[in-house]
Structure 1
Amino acid sequence: MTLPRRSPCPIACTLDLIGDRWTLLIIRDMMFFDKQRFEEFLESPEGISTNILANRLKLLEELGLVTKQPYSNHSRRMNYQLTPEGKSLRPVLKVMAAWGLKHVEGTKLPSIPTSERS
């Protein structure tokens, strides 16, 4: 998927793809909390609405950051998983978390399964 570019700046181009207020939180939930299903994303404390969640999951799939597969006989029930390209955002999220812990008062890391802490 190619989106219009404001400039050739790699930061601007990356923000055009994943810089809204929800996309990285969905990736966070997949990466660190093993969420895969629509209903699981809705349980996150940030309170994403269903229409925005559906839109962002579709966008992430179009960008090649997420794949989906049905998990039951119902064709609309999907499991979402990060692709290798989506997983490559791990260092970005870890640096953002470290920055927030250092510079944003009152932040803390939620419990993350031990297997995902590296």
Structure 2
Amino acid sequence: MSMKYFDKSDLTNIKSTPFGYTLSIIGGKWKMIIMFWLVEYGVLRYGELKRCIGSITDKILNNQLKELERDGIIIRKEYPQIPPKVEYSLSKRGLSLIPILEEICKWGENNRLDL
């Protein structure tokens, strides 16, 4: 990792670095998992996404989706019908993160410690 992005006078302020910014967008337990399933299926409705993820509460899923949408990573498309239909997909910006997720997967394949 290159240190050229760090203000070496204040290494305690990671949030001001490109690395810290990226972590603020994709960090946490669920965001990369949501992105993974959207890459796998392209477009998912809320219930489908929740079933794919498994043990996530509605509150957490809603919060994570709102944050990803706010950050321009996913697109939320709402259809005006009853009952409401909402679909989620990755935006162009979100798709640009896929090579990073693929590298994380490769690292996992190469470094997995089978117990």
Q: What TM-score does the superposition give when structure 1 sets the normalisation length? A: 0.75
**Alignment of 1:53 onto 2:50:** no
Greater share of residues in strand: 2
Task: Report what 1:44 is aligned to.
Answer: 52
Equivalent in 20, 23, 33 of residue 25 of structure 1: 33
Does the 8 Å CA contact 1:67/1:80 hold for their aligned counterparts? Answer: yes
* 2-structure distance, mates of 1:75, 1:58: 20
After superposition, the Cα gap between the structure-2 partners of 1:7 and 1:57, relative to the gap in structure 1 and judged at 3 Å, is closer
After superposition, the Cα gap between the structure-2 partners of 1:105 and 1:72, relative to the gap in structure 1 and judged at 3 Å, is farther
SS at structure 2 position matched to 1:36: strand
Deviation (angstroms), 1:15: 0.7
* 1-structure distance, mates of 2:70, 2:53: 26
Unaligned stretches of 5+ residues in structure 1: 107-118
Give the count of matched residue pairs.
102
**Alignment of 1:65 onto 2:43:** no
Greater share of residues in helix: 2
Q: What TM-score does the superposition give when structure 2 sets the normalisation length? A: 0.77
**Alignment of 1:10 onto 2:26:** no
- Identity of paired residues, percent? 27
Task: Report what 2:90 is aligned to.
Answer: 82
- CA RMSD, Structure 1 to Structure 2 (Å): 2.0
Whose radius of gyration is greater, 1 or 2? 2
Task: Report what 1:111 is aligned to.
Answer: none
